[in-house]
Structure 1
Amino acid sequence: MLSNANMAPVINLNKPRYDQSTYIGRAKHFMLLTNPLNCLASDKELDEAKEIVNNFKKSGRMPPGYDEEKLWRTKYLYDSAFHPDTGEKMMTIGRMSAQAPMNTLITGGMITFYKSTAATIFWQWINQTFNAVVNYTNRSGDAPMPTSQLVASYCGACGGALGTALYLNSKVKNMSPVFARLVPFAAVCGANFINIPMMRSGELINGTPIFTSDGQRVGNSKVAARTGISLVVISRVIMAMPGMTLCPIVTNAAVRRGWFCHRPMMVIPFQLFLVGLCVTFATPLCCALFSQTASISVDSLEPELKELAKKKFSRYKEFYYNKGL
């Protein structure tokens, strides 16, 4: 019910629209957040969305020409482009809404051009560079990472991925072609365990901010950072699985059946279509495996932070943090 003609229904833009305690609610949330169409929004549209969302949070008044549906669309457009901790506009290719189109091209390249060493090096480098951008862009916390640490992390991540891919390629040369097609996935899995922690090493060193349920900052927790990064690694590996395992297996079966005998180059758009289909749905569904706003109990905190929490925030039994994506 409206209190007057200008007041909006009770809408809390500080929380997602859908219940984040259920997988279905999280899936609906990330379907909207990772929508590739969000990448097409101009800077002007994004700045307008930011202004509308911030004004609504302050006043609670529905903007002229808006209803609840349009307000939520604007909120998700805002969330897709601005970092939840720093409030800064994220670079376009680092946003989760860019995952589907970017990963379609990169994954398609990795599973199509996998036979030569040069192609393996090139596509793994492209993939890990993209992943480094995504991991840094979607990090948790608001502390900047020194340039030297960022460069070292990037080099370590790319080196680990390339080493894994080249080693595995050398081991499958005499095996069935399907195993060779799966090497990129194995390399990506191994690289995720290197790339994500490396690009978010600032959190592991300094901790990630944790808050009370009403938004009071308690401090920075290294335990929360380790837990959050581990959950992100798991979701990213599962996210890559459909496009990098199902697609090569289907493509290998199609090749064996002679589908591309007369037009061998058609295998490329065929794989791109399969990868695009998988990535478009795998991205939001795997982001939804764990809530972005994770919780941690007081007893799980490191000793010094636990002592501080019990002194200053004794009535709280658990705290919350952004685990990143």
Structure 2
Amino acid sequence: MSSDLSLNINIKEPRWDQGTFMGRAQHFFMVTDPRNVLLSSETLEEARVIVENYRAGVVKPGLTEDELWRAKYVYDSAFHPDTGEKMFVIGRMSAQVPMNMTITGCMLTFYRTTPAVVFWQWVNQSFNAVVNYTNRSGDAPLTLNQLGAAYVSATSGAVVTALGLKSLAKRLPPIVSRFVPFAAVAAANCINIPFMRQRELKYGIPVMDENGNRLGESANAAKQAIAQVVVSRIGMAVPAMAIPPVIMNALEKRAFLKRFPILNAPVQVGLVGLCLVFATPLCCALFPQKSSMSVSGLEADLQEQIRQTSPQTTTVYFNKGL
């Protein structure tokens, strides 16, 4: 099919160099763009058709390279990289900022009473369960029992941690109490993500050679992927849950907020949102989405299998998930 647009553009990979932090940051600023949540089903379907047709060697007449890359990022924002399925809207990375700014802002605002702590930790972990399942690595389904166990474990861990720290913080300066939600969220991430992706730890995730040929499944690769995601998720929470409490602690002593206390929550949510707009893509960029590890780091049986089927391969690649 005749077209001015080259068919040699590699849209299987991000537009920017993923070997550098800045390249990954540019990529994730596009992936986590909150405006993508507002895109209609028709727009998402149009992007899917453009991307899949281009991969098949069919180019829409008049399509420019910038339009192709825009379609690729719209497609990536809504469709799972391994399964190709359209992801549940609040589980998409583009929903991270609006959802987290609301939930985190409320956790930081309503932290003084036990019912409020329990409620907002439950809401947060319910949201995290959706995100972790939606952005899991690989194409293997989770059973309802596995989903339930992950959800209950993470929620219980977050609530117990939050209530325990809240009790201890009563004997410490008021500013310390404001950091209880962050400690609970960090602890819950260490529980929620591995539990939600426990099938990967048991059966492994797909590993490929540099050309994308599937070589097998590796639990060792899953461990590395999950550890990187946990670090990134905790990193995302640090600015949003550490900076606003300090600012709010100072603002609440001012006459304006004392006179209009109803503004506490909106101001806090706004501060959290401002932090998340930058923290979300920058922390996603800490590690490459297409992660890698040496063949020698894989399980012994998989190493032997790769030596027999692809002896020239020394490094394998896998989607670490988000």
Same fold (TM over 0.5): yes
Equivalent residues, number:
321
Cα pair 1:7 1:62 within 8 Å, conserved = no
SS for the counterpart of 1:141 is coil
Q: Distance in 1 between matches of 2:25 and 2:238?
A: 18
The gaps in structure 2 that reach 5 residues or longer are none
Is the contact between residue 107 and residue 120 of structure 2 (CA under 8 Å) also seen in structure 1?
Answer: yes
Q: 2:296 aligns with which of 285, 294, 299?
A: 299
Counterpart residue number, 1:154: 151
Matched residue, 2:136: 139
Q: Encode CA deviations 1:207-249: one digit per residue, 9 max, x unaligned.
A: 1110011111111100000000000000100100111010011
Task: String of CA shifts for 1:155-204, please: whole Å, max 9, x gaps.
Answer: 11111111111111111012211111110000001000001001111101
Aligned twin of 1:37: 35
Cα contact 1:294–1:321 (8 A) shared by 2: yes
Match of 2:44 in 1: 46
The list of structure 1 runs, each at least 4 consecutive aligned residues, that deviate by more than 6 angstroms after superposition, is none
- Indicate the residue corresponding to 1:127 in structure 2: 124
> Matched residue of 2:259: which SS?
coil
3-state secondary structure, aligned to 1:8 = coil
AA in 1 matched with 2:60: P
Equivalent positions of 1:1-325 (< 5 A) are: 6-9=3-6, 10-59=8-57, 61-325=58-322
Structure 1 unmatched runs, 5+: none
Q: How many angstroms does 1:292 deviate by? A: 0.5
**What's the CA shift for 1:48?**
1.6
Distance in 2, matches of 1:29 and 1:137, equals 19
CA distance in 2, matches of 1:309, 1:292: 23
Q: Which string of whole-angstrom CA distances, capped at 9 and with x for unpartnered residues, describes residues 70-117 of structure 1?
A: 111111000010000111110000000000000010001100000000
Q: Contact between 1:95 and 1:137, CA under 8 Å: does it hold in 2? A: yes
In structure 2, the residue corresponding to 1:260 is in which secondary structure?
helix
Residue 65 of structure 1, CA deviation: 3.5
- 1:83 partner amino acid: H
The CA RMSD over aligned residues, in Å, is: 1.1
Q: TM-score, normalised on structure 1? A: 0.97
Deviations along 1:97-149, one digit per CA (max 9) or x if unpaired, are 00000001000110000000000000000000000100110000000011111
Matching residue's letter, 1:142: D
Q: Which amino acid aligns with 2:43?
A: E
Q: In structure 2, how many angstroms separate the alpha carbons of the residues matched to 1:67 and 1:258?
A: 55
Q: Distance in 1 between matches of 2:159 and 2:229?
A: 21
- The residue type paired with residue 14 of structure 1 is K
